[in-house]
């Protein structure tokens, strides 16, 4: 298919890219921009490992075409570190044992960020409901919940 010239704004930087229009945002982030933090685990929108934020909202980048993401602010896990400092959620995930194999972690942290951005003091149930689309096979979600709760009450 004929390539199209597009501009993507990712983690505050603009990138001009020539891509085939059928390519997903996940493919372009990973293969063209080298941002491999977002992962593919199912490719069909069932697991949440590919979650990134578009204008602050979590989306499944495996089901989103790169051309659809033009003119929007895309945030990936790589964009959460500011001035060498980890985001409080990243710190809490490490401290509370919320990471094991780590494959779901990027999507999980970004989704958690959007949950807290929308509602800084969510209940346990609201957090678990919000994370329903992010599968994790290692942790049973217990420590993930601990980490997010800790951030919501101001601990890291």
Partner 1 sequence: MEELSFVGKSVPRKDGVEKATGKALYTVDMVLPGMLWGKILRSPYPHAKILNIDTSRAERLPGVKAVITGKDTLGIKHGFVETPRYPPDQYPLAMDRVRYIGEEVAAVAAIDEYIAEEALSLIKVDYEELPAVFDPEEAMRPDAPEIHPSHPKVKEPYKNIGGKTETGWGDIEKGFADSYLVREDRFEGQLRTHCYMEPQATFASYDLSGKLNVWTSSQGPFIKRAKLATTLGLPFNNVRVLKAYVGGAYGGKIDLFSHEFCASLLSMKTGRPVKIVWTRQEVFEASRHGQPIIVELKTGVKKDGTLLAQKVRVINNAGAYRGSGVVVIFLCWGFVMLSYRIPNLKYEGYSVYTNNPVRAPQRGHGAPNLRFAVDSQMDMIAEELGIDPVEIRLKNARQKGEILPNGDYVRNCGLVECIERVAEETQFKDKYAKGKLQEGQRIRRGIGMGVSSYFSGSLIYPNASAAIVKLNDDGTVSLLTGALDIGQGAETILSQIVAEELGVAMEDIRVVAADTETTPVDIGSWISGGAYVSGNAVKLAASDARRQLFEVAAKELEANPEDLVAKNREIFVKGSPGRSISFSQAVAASIAKRRGNPIIGQGHYRTMKDVPMHPSLATTKGRWSDNYAFDAQVAEVEVDTWTGQVKLLKATTAHDCGFPINPILVEGQIDGQVSMAQGHALWEEVLMEKGKTLTTSFLDYKIPCAKDMVESHYIDVITEKYEKDIPYRTKEVGEGYVSGMVAAIANAVYNATGVRVKTLPIYPEKILMGLKEKKKK
Nearest CB to partner 1, comparing residues 64 and 139: 139
Question: Residue 135's closest CA among 43, 29, 41, 64?
Answer: 41
Residue 151 near partner 1 by CB under 8 A: no
Nearest CB to partner 1, comparing residues 71 and 129: 129
CB 89 within 8 A of CB 112: yes
Binding window for partner 1 (CB under 8 A); candidates: 2-10, 30-38, 53-61, 65-73 = 30-38
Question: Residue 27's closest CA among 60, 75, 53?
Answer: 60
Cα–Cα dist 57/118, whole Å: 9
Contact positions vs partner 1 (CB under 8 A): 30, 34-44, 46-47, 49, 76-78, 80-81, 86, 90-91, 93-97, 99-106, 109, 127-145
């Amino acid at each position: 298919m004929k390539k199209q010239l597009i501009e993507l704004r990712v983690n505050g930087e603009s990138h001009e890219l020539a891509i085939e229009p059928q390519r997903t945002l996940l493919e372009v982030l990973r293969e063209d921009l080298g941002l491999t933090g977002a992962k593919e685990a199912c490719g069909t929108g069932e697991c949440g490992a590919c979650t990134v934020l578009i204008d602050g909202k979590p989306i499944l980048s495996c089901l989103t075409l790169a051309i659809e993401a033009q003119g929007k602010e895309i945030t990936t896990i790589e964009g959460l570190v500011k001035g060498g400092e980890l985001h409080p959620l990243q710190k809490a995930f490490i401290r509370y044992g919320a990471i094991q194999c780590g494959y779901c972690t990027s999507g999980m942290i970004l989704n958690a960020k959007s949950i807290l951005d929308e509602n800084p003091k969510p209940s346990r149930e609201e957090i678990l409901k919000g994370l329903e689309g992010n599968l994790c096979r290692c942790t049973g979600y217990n420590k993930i919940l601990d980490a997010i709760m800790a951030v919501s009450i101001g601990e890291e």
